[in-house]
A and B are shown apart, each in its own frame.
Chain A
Amino acid sequence: MQKKVLTEQALYFGDVSMPKGFEINYYQLSHDTLQSNFTNEKFLFSRTWDMLNTYIREHINLKYTIKLINKDTWGTIYKPLEISTPLLNVDPVDLRNSPDYTLLYGVQVKDCSVRIHYDDNRRKGKSWDIPLTNNQFIMFPSTNLYYLTNTQKDSLNFVQTITYDYT
């Protein structure tokens, strides 16, 4: 008896363990998120963002042999007790130009969790909850609907999203 996996819905997550002295500058990312939200312009490229993106791409390639290609990125600010709207980063009528993977990175977060919806064959509408903490990433297929729940009471949560294609 044999088995062939045709596709899988995998969740990749973990810490961004940068070498000492090369840690991700959360202040820079938060600042760029604020700026991009206030000016309504694209998220600025920065050395810090590049370090994060390079770390993810290289480590995913090393461990899972998935070559990620950047698609888009933006930063989001969540107010205390804010629950996001359901989020989906594929456009069902434009799958060709939609990303394969969505990555969420906890820039500066407190009491934040992500609920990812998925189907398990005929068992529809299942979900998986995973906390998002500072300097941690979660990556999953962009076809999965998700939303973020923020239960912090006295601070803003900053989450960086990066979308990828893969080869």
Chain B
Amino acid sequence: MATFAKISDSNQVLAVVIVSDSDTQNAEGVEEESVGQAFLEKNNNWPAAMWIQTSYNTWQHTHSSGDNSKAFRGNYASVGFTWDADSEVFWPIKPFDSWVKHTETASWKSPIGDAPALPSEKQTQNNAKSHAWGYQWNETDKSWDLVDAVVPS
């Protein structure tokens, strides 16, 4: 089966549909995106060029099989994602205004990078399940705040 994302005129994903193999294969039985696009244009009333094939097994440029050469178009598309035809990537929804594109992983990163590692004492408390320390992005201060998500019982 093949999966296609339906995109709007502003390249946002409106829907994701699954098409059977037989409707995406050419006369020689080889899967071709254009065959699936033509099928969808005819049956789902939306222009062929606005159906973009996506891969269920791809996330952040990695493939679930472990063979990243099979990774296809950055991320498995979902409603609200944005299709970037130039880089051939489905970009997830931007989580915060200040975050920037990280093309290597087809994901968004904070302007100061990933959250730091937890201090060892906090990690120990997490391991003991007495707390649930974690970093939460503070968009106002553009910083990672250390917060405890669980109130000990």
| Chain A interface residues toward B at CB < 8 A | 17, 19-22, 47, 50-51, 54, 58-59, 61-62
Contacts and interface: CB of A to CB of B under 8 A. Distances in A.
Contacts of A47: 45
Contacts of A17: 9
B79 interface: yes
A19 B47 CA distance: 7
B9 A19 contact: yes
B120 to A, nearest CB: 35
Contacts of B46: 19, 22
Contacts of B45: 22, 47, 50-51, 54
A19 B14 contact: no
B79 A62 contact: yes
8 contacts: A19-B9, A19-B46, A19-B47, A19-B50, A22-B46, A50-B45, A51-B45, A58-B14
Contacts of A22: 45-47
A19 B50 CA distance: 9
A138 B51 CA distance: 28
Given A19-B47, A59-B8, A62-B12, 20 more contacts: A17-B9, A19-B46, A19-B50, A20-B47, A21-B47, A22-B45, A22-B47, A47-B45, A50-B45, A54-B45, A58-B14, A58-B15, A59-B14, A61-B14, A61-B79, A62-B8, A62-B13, A62-B14, A62-B79, A62-B80
Interface of B: 6, 8-9, 12-15, 45-47, 50, 79-80
**Interface of chain A: mostly helix, strand, loop or mixed:** helix
A21 B48 CA distance: 11
Contacts of A58: 6, 14-15
A39 B80 CA distance: 42
Instruction: Report which residue of B8, B12, B13, B80 has the largest number of chain A beta carbons within 10 angstroms of its beta carbon.
Output: B8
Contacts of A51: 45
A14 to B, nearest CB: 13
A80 to B, nearest CB: 33
A20 B46 CA distance: 10
A86 B79 CA distance: 37
A17 B12 CA distance: 14
A61 B79 CA distance: 9
Contacts of A19: 9, 46-47, 50
A61 B14 CA distance: 8
Contacts of B12: 62
Contacts of B8: 59, 62
A54 B8 CA distance: 12
Nearest to A21: B47
Contacts of B80: 62
A54 B40 CA distance: 14
A129 to B, nearest CB: 29
Instruction: Report which residue of A59, A61, A62 has the largest number of chain B beta carbons within 10 angstroms of its beta carbon.
Output: A62
A128 B14 CA distance: 31
